[in-house]
Structure 1
């Protein structure tokens, strides 16, 4: 019944995938595996959904990624139809704001933190070998607790580095290779209390 209402079985599966994964991006072959449909059918429906505006696309690592457009006019009612947990629909933000991300919240809660970056496996398109950089006079137990939460969410070990503010600023000033390799790639600023990186992006 719902297939007829929304045009095709593939479209219904795509809507279910995207509307249950706000903030997540998928490339075409990944989508075909997840919904078990032919790639030509998937490509056709993705094109239609892009034209309508319910999804957006972005390229990284020579792949085209798609994700739901949370600013789409009918995002909330569609999520009410296709979302697995209808009761959570009203709580879904209409803008993908990383400040509400669980990882960011955990990192920001570390006392004494002055600067924090996400890179590596936490940022799509990043080739950094380091996933988290933390700067400040930090308590080891608090850092480990935050990293453990991220590792649990990612299902893998996270490579992280803790630096004092003076050491980080010195390395930045002399364009230390370790720091510049991270900053020349893709990264996300989680905390920058002193606006050290305001001109770096």
Structure 2
């Protein structure tokens, strides 16, 4: 389902990107507004194309706009009758894990990235997700060096403000823990449902999981 080309349904890639951005943001409850130029940068589309789509979506009643400090900002029309239906479509099709893979691919100091099963519950509706989030704790386990502030900002953007918890240890610390047969680390690494999106150290192979 996540491989479906939504642009073929909504007419263009630009329109599909805009709708995804607006409805996922709206589902977060943060109340964020989008300015045309900022949105153009966010979705990597020409500003003229973005303007045309914003105007069209506003005419259709899907978006509304308001002016603040001489700038025009757009947001999902709260009276749009299909908000829930559109939101469900984009949540079902959204694949943040691919964005995580791309992010960590460029982090040369990171040797391993493990996503726990809880990472796939972040876009489940709040009522359903309440107990899962309470139990999950850690979402991402990392071995290596990286800019934590940069990652926090990236996760906030990709997960639209939803809480994603990560922790990291150094390569040296990791091997020390393995040497002392750290059950917490071994249990974490072998947990059912884990997704290894980077494993330069071949940890899965060493643990007999490959």
TM-score by length of 1: 0.46
Q: Relative CO higher for 1 or 2, CA cutoff 8 Å, sep ≥ 6?
A: 2
TM-score by length of 2: 0.44
Instruction: Report which of the two has the higher share of helix.
Output: 2
